[in-house]
Structure 1
Amino acid sequence: MTAPRLSVIVPVKDEEAAIAPFVTRVGGVLDGLREPDGTPLSWEILFIDDGSKDATLAAIHAAHRADPRVWALSLSRNFGKEAALSAGLDHALGDAVIPIDVDMQDPPEVIGEMLDRWRAGCEVVYGIRRDRQTDSLPKRMTADLYYRAHNWLSSDKIPEHAGDFRLLDRKVVEVIKLMPERNRFMKGLFAWSGFRQAGVEYDRAERQVGRTKFNYWKLWTLALDGITSASTVPLRIWSYLGAMIALVALVYAAFVVIRTVIYGADVAGYPSMMVAILFLGGVQLLSLGVLGEYIGRILVEVKRRPIYVIRERIEGQD
């Protein structure tokens, strides 16, 4: 395949109804883009079928037959969105690469402005959700809390309210492809890579076709992956907390000894003893949980299994 100027990579899972509307809208936007000399912009749309159980792959086949610039990789099972994004970055051919969701909540019309920023010298142009009113109040609040927590704990700052929708220069893509870790949080990897970055604001629309595959548990898991992959501060926090508790215990022990010497024998009450035991037990279990999160990630890394497995490729002429 001749390398196009722009690659759009789209992770999908059980999105059969969204494929055709997405290709129609995004293809129309891309066909309207021009190079600085006025020639049409060459492009491709690369779908990553992340273990769909419905007719998503058949819909992609149909889109490919209608336009060979649409092609796909079908993974052997559901590896998760981060793995699907990695597969797309590994196989995209363009000088610039744009990950985008198939639900079109991120408007493809912004791509033209991203390209302008790219041509002006920015190697990463990320989309910023100016208005998140289409999300529920709990989701908006937890998202805001997560961004603040991540940027406080990690030295790799991620732009607030910026998702995976962004333009990446080929140089950035090659850096991401060199990263060997299996526990992947793509927004953190994008931030770590550096380069000249700029933001483009847009209003996020409501989802028109299908339904989201992310529930609150998956979002919580993604948040944990993001923090533990980008920072060791949680481990340090529990080390400091343990030191503070030990210091308070020593001070209290000294107080008990001095009071016993001055006023005689002192028998501690049962309630205060139970509170101390339960508090320290809870702190120890929570500390083991934090440590276990990091040890589990070490286990995944040392196995060195592939991030994804490709079952089928849809490319060339059918």
Structure 2
Amino acid sequence: MTHQHGTQLAGHVALSLVIPVFNEAATIDLFIARITDVFKEEALVGLEMVFVNDGSTDATLDLLLERQRSDPRVRIVDLSRNFGKEAALTAGLQTATGQVVVPIDADLQDPPEVILQMIALWRQGYEVVLGHRVSRRTDSWAKKTSANWFYRLHNRISDQPLPKDVGDFRLMDRCVVEALESLPESRRFMKGLFAWVGFRTTHVDYERPERVAGETKFNGWRLWNFALEGITSFSTDPLKVWTYLGLFVSLVSFSFAIFIVLRTLITGVDVPGYASLMVAVTFLGGLQLIGIGVLGEYLGRTYIESKRRPVYLVRRVYNPKD
């Protein structure tokens, strides 16, 4: 694999763009036009665009089929329902045929021009080229703050840290894509899987612009669940912490018991207050429920993985000559 990669660095490269779309009818034409403009003079780049329709309810699929009639570079994977971006991304990676593969969103917040810089670095021998956002000025304060805290927490407790301010936008050599395809998880946190497989990696800095059209599909609740998925996928520390917390609470309780015994021996019998008793009961009850909840997160993942259901189901793949 390494020898084959090295012999092809200087010549023609087959590039696959993987574009998960969910209700992106407003951005499809703008995206294809921008891609066409960027690669129109790149004779050494053979391009295919793999659009994964993740159960869109608007005109996304019809628009893609219309564009495919005039553009043979367009391939369409139509999923049977909305499985989520991670599943759609997995479907696209498994469908893409390129020597190098780049996941990219249709909203053009990841500038296609950066891909040319990625290819140049790939030709130097790198197998993964990350798109690194130099600023998050287009994100809200809440999103920036929550993202910073997520990266700090995840990278502190996980064995495999995530590169900060790096999304799915990256170039991957075919050997990296094949490694990702070999991973058997049903619940797939792709940022973590990208980091876990490793390979020789570098990055390209870029400014992230506003969406060209449409609205983001991520809200606060989905981002929270996404963060939980990432933390529980690559670390068991949330389970371990309850051992230490339980030990700490037990020591505090034992110390307080000794204090009560000594005070009773010295000053006589004392009637404990109702308020302090209720605080202790509710505090410990809350800790137990949180601990059970954390256990439930991991048990739920184990239960889902044990079913071995496929990550996604394809309704139909539309190739240019179909």
Q: Shared fold (TM-score greater than 0.5)? A: yes
Look up the SS of the partner of 1:71 in the other structure.
strand
1:108 aligns with 2:112: yes
Structure 1 gap segments, 5+ residues each: 34-38
Deviation per residue, 1:157-207 (Å, 9 max, x gap): 111010000001111111110111111110000000011111111000001
The number of residue pairs the alignment matches comes to 311
Look up the SS of the partner of 1:207 in the other structure.
coil
What's the RMSD between the two structures over aligned residues?
A: 1.3
Within a 5 Å distance, the mapping from 1:14-29 to structure 2 comes to: 14-29=23-38
What is the CA–CA distance in structure 1 between the aligned matches of 2:44 and 2:175, rounded to whole Å?
23
Q: Which residue of 2 aligns with 1:36?
A: none
Q: Which residue of 2 aligns with 1:304?
A: 308
What is the CA–CA distance in structure 1 between the aligned matches of 2:140 and 2:120, rounded to whole Å?
33
Q: Which residue of 1 aligns with 2:4?
A: none
Q: Which residue of 1 aligns with 2:167?
A: 163
- Per the TM alignment, residue 4 of structure 1 is displaced from its structure 2 partner at its CA by 6.7
Which range moves more in the overlay, 269-278 or 3-12?
3-12
C-alpha contact 2:69 2:320 (8 A) present in aligned 1: no
Q: Which residue of 1 aligns with 2:193?
A: 189
C-alpha contact 1:4 1:44 (8 A) present in aligned 2: no
Identity of aligned residues (%): 52
Residue from 275, 285, 298 that aligns with 1:294: 298
Look up the SS of the partner of 2:87 in the other structure.
helix
Which range moves more in the overlay, 143-152 or 259-268?
259-268
Compute the TM-score of the two structures, normalised by the length of structure 2.
0.94
1:64 aligns with 2:68: yes
Look up the SS of the partner of 1:53 in the other structure.
coil
Structure 2 gap segments, 5+ residues each: 1-11
Q: Which residue of 1 aligns with 2:139?
A: 135
What is the CA–CA distance in structure 1 between the aligned matches of 2:111 and 2:41, rounded to whole Å?
15
Residue from 177, 180, 185 that aligns with 2:184: 180
Residue from 5, 8, 21 that aligns with 1:12: 21
Residue from 143, 152, 159 that aligns with 2:156: 152
Dislocated runs of 4+, deviation >6 Å: none
1:260 aligns with 2:269: no
What is the CA–CA distance in structure 1 between the aligned matches of 2:320 and 2:139, rounded to whole Å?
39
Look up the SS of the partner of 1:131 in the other structure.
coil
C-alpha contact 1:31 1:41 (8 A) present in aligned 2: no
Q: Which residue of 2 aligns with 1:274?
A: 278
What is the CA–CA distance in structure 2 between the aligned matches of 1:21 and 1:255, rounded to whole Å?
72
What is the CA–CA distance in structure 2 between the aligned matches of 1:44 and 1:119, rounded to whole Å?
19
Deviation per residue, 1:50-88 (Å, 9 max, x gap): 000111111111121111111110000000000000001
